[in-house]
Amino acid sequence: MADEFPFEISPMFEGERIRKDNMHVELAGPKSIGFELVRATDMKDVEDGKFTLIGPDLSEMAEGSRYPVAMIYKIAGELVETDLESIVERRNHEFQNYIQGFMHLNQRDDVWLRVSKDAIKKGLTSFEPVAKAIMMLFKNELPFIEKVEAVYITDQAEIEKEIDNARAVYKARDERTKGLHDEDVDTFYGCTLCASFAPTNVCVITPDRISLCGAINWFDGRAAAKVDPEGPQFAIEKGELLDASSGEYSGVNDLAKRLSSGEYDRIKLHSFFEYPHTSCGCFEVVGFYIPEVDGIGWVDRDFAGTAPNGLQFSTMAGQTGGGKQVVGFLGIGVNYFRSPKFISGDGGWDRVVWMPNMLKQKILDSIPEDVKDKIATDENINDIESLKNFLKEKEHPVIKRWVVEEEETIEEEEESQPSEAQYYQPMQYVPQQMPAGFMPSMAMMGGSGSGGVKIILKNAKVTVDKIIVKKIE
């Protein structure tokens, strides 16, 4: 694209993964700190094209090392407004991934970057060309930006000084949608930024549902669609309300058909089980159904442990991503926990049974008082059996959904009182559609003999050598 850079830069490098054995340096990520931040700034306070680095440069970073990183961009222009900050910030993720040998994951203060050994060998020894390439792309692709300046920080103490300020900005952005709800607006917004790696993804952003990457709220979508209606964020006429509790709208269904090329024709914005929102792979948190208790657990990227279903975030993320509508798993942005419509189609908070303690503390204010202490965390519960006992002991609302497993058993033992153990058998829930590649936990594999598993094979060839048809006598 541009000869002045010591690397190739093209959308074809998006999706490139840098594994440990080809990694020269890791920046931020789960074992360090960092953030990215875009600020709308006065024209007079931005020196166009200027780059400042505070801390060591790439050339000073030894092979295999890890450093914190902060990337701050000041943007200015007649049309630039604060609502556009998130939109530009999200493009930092996209454009850095255009650089061959440079990997950018996640967003905000969850960013995680890696630079490959090959890129260093080819001459990528400074952050300056990286920042200059990103500034060039910002101005080329987002014409409302007239001036841009970048400050990168790799000094731990400096980042610690700045990170709270960045978090305050994210919080203020998230707070803006609090007083506005889906029913108050006629327009939702869509985003296709993740379509390159998740072609059937249908990303819908509403006042009550932040994007699943957590970076774009309804105001951000509106601002982006206003300045660049042909860009990746665009308006969706929400159309007719088809189901209030699960958030189904005719306009969203029409968009689903169009964006997924007919793969999906219904999306219920606030449903976990029925026609859920697609999950591209950028989600901050994955929800997972736990059939043994008929409840839902949630696990975020920062949690390195194992959830009660025996799976880690990375395994569940692999099952969930790719732009699919995956029943049994759901990717969301952290701020969706704060929505009054949070999985309202499936019982909302009354269905939440487990989450890592760090995540629970982050969103504690948004959990209704009556279930706050009834949601287990990794601090006390790490397997299904103890989760069941915990929920019983705390009288979690989900236990009302548990039914005696075999009605016949009740009939046979009509005379005697049912034991507590019989009463607390969660019902065998069979989702409307099992996702391809779904990894059920043991109970979902049909341990009890009732319910069973429905498997839908898509794009599969089935060969049959012989069929014998016999009359049943």
Single out the segment in contact with ligand SF4 by CB under 6 A; choices: 209-217, 261-269, 309-317, 438-446. Answer: 209-217
C-alpha 333/C-alpha 113 separation (Å) is 20
Instruction: Write down the least CB distance from residue 106 to ligand SF4, Å.
Output: 11
Instruction: Write down the least CB distance from residue 260 to ligand SF4, Å.
Output: 13
C-alpha 334/C-alpha 349 separation (Å) is 14
Q: Nearer to ligand SF4 by C-beta: 280 or 352? A: 280
Single out the segment in contact with ligand SF4 by CB under 6 A; choices: 191-199, 322-330, 377-385, 439-447. Answer: 191-199
Q: Nearer to ligand SF4 by C-beta: 150 or 215? A: 215
| C-alpha distances out from residue 464 to 176, 178, 458, 469, Å | 58, 57, 17, 13
Instruction: Write down the least CB distance from residue 229 to ligand SF4, Å.
Output: 16
The reply to whether 326 sits near ligand SF4 by the rule CB under 6 A is no
Q: Are strands 23-28 and 65-67 parallel, antiparallel or unpaired?
A: parallel
The reply to whether 216 sits near ligand SF4 by the rule CB under 6 A is yes
Q: Which of 145, 280, 307, 334 touches ligand SF4 by CB under 6 A?
A: 280
Q: Nearer to ligand SF4 by C-beta: 8 or 263? A: 263
Instruction: Write down the least CB distance from residue 187 to ligand SF4, Å.
Output: 16
Single out the segment in contact with ligand SF4 by CB under 6 A; choices: 3-11, 14-22, 156-164, 205-213. Answer: 205-213
C-alpha 127/C-alpha 104 separation (Å) is 14
Q: Nearer to ligand SF4 by C-beta: 94 or 292? A: 94
Single out the segment in contact with ligand SF4 by CB under 6 A; choices: 44-52, 212-220, 239-247, 340-348. Answer: 212-220
C-alpha 33/C-alpha 302 separation (Å) is 12
The reply to whether 215 sits near ligand SF4 by the rule CB under 6 A is yes
Q: Nearer to ligand SF4 by C-beta: 176 or 392? A: 176
> Taking each helix axis from N to C terminus, what angle separates 85-96 and 156-175, rounded to the nearest 10 degrees?
130
Instruction: Write down the least CB distance from residue 213 to ligand SF4, Å.
Output: 3
The reply to whether 213 sits near ligand SF4 by the rule CB under 6 A is yes
Residues 107-166 within binding reach of ligand SF4 (CB under 6 A):
none
Which amino acid appears at position 37 of this protein?
L
Q: Which of 76, 282, 359, 381 touches ligand SF4 by CB under 6 A?
A: 282
The reply to whether 259 sits near ligand SF4 by the rule CB under 6 A is no
Q: Nearer to ligand SF4 by C-beta: 231 or 451? A: 231
Which amino acid appears at position 78 of this protein?
E
Q: Which of 71, 120, 135, 193 touches ligand SF4 by CB under 6 A?
A: 193
Q: Nearer to ligand SF4 by C-beta: 96 or 309? A: 96
C-alpha 443/C-alpha 448 separation (Å) is 7
Single out the segment in contact with ligand SF4 by CB under 6 A; choices: 145-153, 210-218, 294-302, 424-432. Answer: 210-218
Q: Nearer to ligand SF4 by C-beta: 14 or 302? A: 14
Binding mask 298-317 for ligand SF4 (x = CB under 6 A): --------------------
The reply to whether 320 sits near ligand SF4 by the rule CB under 6 A is no
The reply to whether 396 sits near ligand SF4 by the rule CB under 6 A is no
The reply to whether 191 sits near ligand SF4 by the rule CB under 6 A is yes
CA neighbor of 95 nearest in space, from 224, 207, 232 = 232
Instruction: Write down the least CB distance from residue 176 to ligand SF4, Å.
Output: 16
Q: Which of 92, 100, 106, 211 touches ligand SF4 by CB under 6 A?
A: 211
| Token digits of residue 129 | 């060309």
The reply to whether 212 sits near ligand SF4 by the rule CB under 6 A is yes
Q: Nearer to ligand SF4 by C-beta: 113 or 293? A: 113
The reply to whether 203 sits near ligand SF4 by the rule CB under 6 A is yes
Q: Which of 24, 39, 90, 388 touches ligand SF4 by CB under 6 A?
A: 90
Size of the site for ligand SF4 (CB under 6 A): 12
The residues that touch ligand SF4, with contacts defined as CB under 6 A, are 90, 191, 193-194, 203, 211-213, 215-216, 280, 282
